Chain A
Amino acid sequence: MQWLYVYLPSLQLDSLLHQQAYDEACVLVHQNQVVQANTQARQLGITLGTGLAAAALLCAQLKVIAYDHKHEQRLLRQLAQRLYQTSATLYLDPPQGLLLQTSDMLKLYKGIAAYWQRLQQPLIERGLHYHYASAHSPLAAQVLARAGNDRLLNNTQEANTLLAQLPIQRVGLAAKLTQQLERLGLNTLGQAQALPRSALGQRLGQELVTYLQQLDHTKAPAKTNYQPPERFRQGLELLYDIELSSALRFPLRRLLDDLEAFLAPRKLQAGGLNLSLHYRELPAEKVHIGCSGGEYRAQVWLNLAMLHLEQLQLQAPIIAMRLSTSGQHSWEPLSNQLFEPQGGKLTADQLISRLQNKLGNHAVQQVFLRDDHRPERSFYQGLPKTHAAAPNATVCLRPSLLLTIPKALHHKPNHQWCVMSGPERIQSGWWDNVSICRDYFIARNPLGQVCWLFRTPTEEWFLHGYFA
C-alpha cells in the first residue's frame, strides 16, 4: 500500500491571513511562545519557540494572535472535507496532518503526479504552506513529510534510504528518547535501525521498538477514516473587528462559497441558513435566512442575507461568524419554464423568499381553504406553498373582502339600504365551542358598497364583509 502525508505547519495562521489578505508580520502564540509565524515575521528573525517578549522586541508592530487548538482542528476538518472530493480514504492526524491512502486512487488519476496535482489545488487556493511525502507506510510518510521531504517516492528502497539519513532529532521521537539515543552516539535514524531490536528494547524501552516496527508497517492506522459531515456547519474567525453590518458581506461571501462547494456536488439545497455573529462579550446575534424553495448558490444566498444584515443594528464589533444549514433536501430542477415565452429571472419560490426575508414571514402569505361553513373559519392565511392542493370552495355566494372582526352597526339598516338577498342562516359550531347563529343579508348601502350583513338572535346588526 502507498501512503501520502500532508503536513501543514502553519494551518491556523495561513488560513487567518489568507482570508483577510494581511501582509504584515504576524505570529501565533501559545503559552508565551511563538508557535506559528509568517514569512514577514521570519525575515525579522522571529523563529518558532521564540518567547513573546523577544518577538515583540524584534518587531514593534507585530500582530499577535492566540493559538487555538480547537480552531485549528476545525480548519483541518474543513480541509479534509474539501480533499475528500479528490481522495476517498483519508485520516485526520491532528493538529496539522492529513494521511491519505493513495494506492486506490492512482488508477483513477493515472499516476501519482496527476493525483498530487489535484490534491495540491485546494491547498494553494487556501494559501497554505505545506510539506508532503509519499511512502510505503503511514509512519514513514509522516516522518518524511514532517522533515520537509516534499517528494513523491515510488519504491520502498528509496524511502528507506531517505529515512536512514534523517537526523535523529527530526524523526518525531519523544524528547527524552532522542536525548538517550544521542548520548549513545546514534545521530541518524539509520544507525538506530541497524542495531538489533531486542537490545534496543532492553536498553531504551518498548517505545522505540514499536516506532521502528511501525516504520515498516504498511497497514492502515488503527483509527477510523474521515467521514464527511451530513450537514454544513462552518465558522470564520475575523482578523479585524467588523462594526458595520454591511461590511459583513465579504467574509460572509467566503462562507457561502464554501456552502456552495458543500451542497453542489451532493446535489443538495438548503432550506434555510442559521447565521450567528459573535461579539467579544455579548451573546451572539442570531439571524435566520429562509428560502422557501431551497437554494445552493452562494450569490442568491448572499442577496437574501444582505436583506437581513442591512436591517441589523450591531451592538458591538463582530469577531467571528458561524454558518450552518437548517434543513437540507435534494435538488429538484424546475422544468415549468421551458415553454414559457419569456423566461423569468426568479421562480415563484425565489420571489417569495426574497419578500419574506425583507418583510418578515408574517407579511407574505397565502390563503388556504378549510372545510367549515362558518365564514371566519372557512379559510386561513399561512406561509406560501406554491404546490398545495385545495379543498373545494363553497357554492354559496361569499364576499371577497371579509372584516377580521365584524363591525357593529349602531342602528338597523334603514330604507336607504337596498337588500338584495337574504336571509341565509349560518348556525352552529358546538364541536369547538365557537357556536354562532347569524342571519346573513346582502345589501347595498347608501355609498354603493355591496355589504354582507348579519343579524344576531338579539337583533344586533353587524357588517361582516364587502362584495368588492
Chain B
Amino acid sequence: MALTQLNQLEQQRLVWRARQVVAPDQRRQSSFYPALDKHLQGGWPQAGLVELACGSAGIGEIRLLLPLLAQAKPRLQVWINPPAELNGQALAQHGINLSQTLLVRCQNPQHALWSAEQSLTSGCCSHLLLWGPNLTSTQAKRLQVAAKDNQVLMFWLHNQPAPSTSALPISVRLSLAPQATGLSLKIYKSQGQWPQHPCHINMHTLWPSLAAQPQPVANNIVVLPAQAQ
C-alpha cells in the first residue's frame, strides 16, 4: 500500500532521490552579485531555464540580470513580451549591446512560446527573457531541454509572488521581494544543490541612487514637499 503510494508520488515527480542526480552541469556563470553567486554556488547555471517570481513588475528584476547580460558574449539576446517598452538608453547605459538585442512582442501566448523555442533551438542566442503568466509541465520541459541543448540561459519572469507550485522540470526557481537595499531572494529549487536560506542582494554598489545602503541612515530619506503641508 505504502509502496504504491510512493510510486504514485514518484510518477508525479514529487519525490526526489539523491541518487537521481545525474552529474548536473557544474559550470556556472557569475551573476555579478557576490551574495547570489555564493548562494547558487557559483552563479547562474550555464544553460537551462530559471524561473523568477517577481510579485510585481519593476522591483529590480531586470537590474538583477543586467550585469550578466552586459558581460555576455556577442550573441543574440531575445526579450519576449516585456511588460512595458524597453528603454534603449537604460540598456545601453549598462553595457547591453542593442544590436544583439531582439525584442519580440506577441499577444498570443502560444506564439510567445513558439518564438522562445525557435530562438533557443536556433543556436545563435545566448540569453532569453520571457515574460508570461504560467507554463505547463510539458512546456517547461521542452524549453528546459531546448535551452540545455543549445547552451542558452533562459529566464522566465512572472508577477506571481511565489513560483508555481507544480514540480516544473527546470533548473532554478526563485522568488524576488523588494527591499530598501535591493532584493530579497528565496531559492525554492536549484538543481543539484541543497535548499538555501533566503539571500539578500545588495544593489547599492551598482545602483547607489536606486537602493539604500545596507545600514539605512534616517536622513537618507527625502521628505516630499507634499507631506510638509
Chain A interface (Cβ < 8 Å from any Cβ of B): 342-348, 350-352, 354-355, 358-359, 363-369, 375, 378-381, 384-388, 390, 392-395, 397-404, 412-415, 417-421, 442, 444, 447-451, 465-468
Beyond A359-B104, A363-B106, A366-B103, 16 additional pairs, beta carbon < 8 A: A342-B151, A344-B122, A351-B118, A368-B98, A369-B89, A378-B87, A394-B93, A397-B207, A398-B90, A399-B87, A403-B84, A413-B224, A414-B226, A415-B223, A419-B221, A448-B59
Q: Within 8 Å CB of B61, what residues of A?
A: 468
Give Cα distance in the complex from A367 to B93, angstroms.
Answer: 13
Give Cα distance in the complex from A119 to B57, angstroms.
Answer: 68
Instruction: Please tell me if the beta carbons of A365 and B59 are within 8 angstroms of each other in the complex.
Output: no
- Spot the interface stretch: B12-20, B31-39, B176-184, B189-197: B176-184
Q: Interface centre among A345, A358, A400, A467, by most B CB within 10 Å?
A: A400
Give Cα distance in the complex from A366 to B78, angstroms.
Answer: 10
Interface size class of B (residues with CB under 8 A): 35 or more
Give Cα distance in the complex from A330 to B201, angstroms.
Answer: 51
Instruction: Please tell me if the beta carbons of B89 and A394 are within 8 angstroms of each other in the complex.
Output: yes
Give Cα distance in the complex from A412 to B227, angstroms.
Answer: 9
Instruction: Please tell me if the beta carbons of A369 and B84 are within 8 angstroms of each other in the complex.
Output: no
A-B contact pairs, 15 of them (CB 8 A): A344-B124, A348-B124, A351-B118, A390-B99, A393-B89, A397-B93, A398-B90, A401-B57, A420-B222, A444-B178, A465-B87, A466-B58, A466-B84, A468-B60, A468-B83
Contact of B226 among A378, A380, A401, A413 (CB under 8 A): A413
Give Cα distance in the complex from A366 to B85, angstroms.
Answer: 11
Q: Which single residue of chain B is at the shortest CB-CB distance from A349?
A: B124
Q: A403-B84, A468-B59 are in contact. Are A420 and B209 (CB under 8 A)?
A: yes
Instruction: Please tell me if the beta carbons of A401 and B86 are within 8 angstroms of each other in the complex.
Output: yes
Give Cα distance in the complex from A181 to B6, angstroms.
Answer: 105
Contact with A along B156-188 (1 / 0, CB 8 A): 000000000000000000000111100000000
Interface SS, B side: mixed
Q: Within 8 Å CB of A355, what residues of B?
A: 102, 104, 115, 118-119
Instruction: Please tell me if the beta carbons of A386 and B210 are within 8 angstroms of each other in the complex.
Output: no
Q: Which single residue of chain B is at the shortest CB-CB distance from A466?
A: B58
B198 adjacent to chain A (CB < 8 Å) = no
What distance in Å separates the Cβ of B169 from its nearest Cβ neighbour in chain A?
A: 23
Q: A345-B122, A367-B98, A447-B178 are in contact. Are A415 and B210 (CB under 8 A)?
A: no
Q: Which single residue of chain A is at the shortest CB-CB distance from B229?
A: A412
B141 adjacent to chain A (CB < 8 Å) = no
What distance in Å separates the Cβ of A381 from its nearest Cβ neighbour in chain B?
A: 7
Give Cα distance in the complex from A42 to B116, angstroms.
Answer: 58
Q: Within 8 Å CB of A379, what residues of B?
A: 87-89
What distance in Å separates the Cβ of B135 from its nearest Cβ neighbour in chain A?
A: 20
Q: Within 8 Å CB of B85, what residues of A?
A: 381, 401-404
Contact of A359 among B82, B91, B111, B125 (CB under 8 A): B111
What distance in Å separates the Cβ of A47 from its nearest Cβ neighbour in chain B?
A: 58
Give Cα distance in the complex from A363 to B85, angstroms.
Answer: 13
Give Cα distance in the complex from A378 to B101, angstroms.
Answer: 17
Instruction: Please tell me if the beta carbons of A359 and B106 are within 8 angstroms of each other in the complex.
Output: yes
What distance in Å separates the Cβ of B208 from its nearest Cβ neighbour in chain A?
A: 9
Q: Within 8 Å CB of B99, what residues of A?
A: 366, 385-388, 390
What distance in Å separates the Cβ of A12 from its nearest Cβ neighbour in chain B?
A: 42
Instruction: Please tell me if the beta carbons of A367 and B106 are within 8 angstroms of each other in the complex.
Output: no
Q: Within 8 Å CB of B84, what residues of A?
A: 401-404, 465-466
Q: Which single residue of chain A is at the shortest CB-CB distance from B94?
A: A400
Give Cα distance in the complex from A420 to B85, angstroms.
Answer: 23
B71 adjacent to chain A (CB < 8 Å) = no
Q: Within 8 Å CB of B28, what residues of A?
A: none
Q: Which single residue of chain A is at the shortest CB-CB distance from B66?
A: A400
Q: Within 8 Å CB of B210, what residues of A?
A: 397, 420, 442, 450, 467
Give Cα distance in the complex from A378 to B98, angstroms.
Answer: 14
Q: Which single residue of chain B is at the shortest CB-CB distance from A389?
A: B99
What distance in Å separates the Cβ of A31 from its nearest Cβ neighbour in chain B?
A: 54
Q: Within 8 Å CB of B58, what residues of A?
A: 401, 449-451, 466-468
Q: Interface centre among A393, A419, A468, by most B CB within 10 Å?
A: A468
What distance in Å separates the Cβ of B88 from its nearest Cβ neighbour in chain A?
A: 3
Give Cα distance in the complex from A390 to B95, angstroms.
Answer: 12
